Structure 1
């Protein structure tokens, strides 16, 4: 009804269809944004859930993370980051974790953000495709 798939937020198994798992933009994952890094984190949690089920063991309590970078210019980047945890079966933001780039950041900090963005992209694409 909402346009998004309801899931068990610990495992990402569909709340409507057993043994169907939904991650990323398609799922309802509490306050997690619909971003590549959120989907990457959800995929790891989902894989652990499936592996735990196949091995007949209890799944560890997951944690989740998100970081988004924007390269605004050659030497100007910004970011937002957050950490999430499971609380009573729901994903919630961990208070005082992560944050956004300071509005008054120095030119050097903005330059670092660009380097971090390129590094993040290299790492996540390597992890996904290798």
Structure 2
């Protein structure tokens, strides 16, 4: 394991509607995965569509417009051997911090707000929250 990758474990807590949790439990069971493994895997799969600007064709990325995750995995494995769980944590990097920073910026620009009534974030103009 590379010294620069912190693979310590930490809890992430989220709230979803009961029907969604039941669907996730069922799907995880079908895939013979724990709920935690299922959620981590699905989050990582979903993140692939949100790669950084380095994937733009005019960048100096060795895989322009390609799969940034592939490049990251190859770089990690070139330095050391990783288990599935270690790789998953290593590529998860700082998505939580990036999301927090983005939400703070959007709130400070008065583009979104947290709505306790609607159970989460919503646009200031009320789009999509039923206002």
Alignment TM class, shorter chain as reference: under 0.3
Bigger share in helix: 2
Bigger share in strand: 1
TM-score by length of 1: 0.26
TM-score by length of 2: 0.26
| Rg (Cα) greater in structure | 2
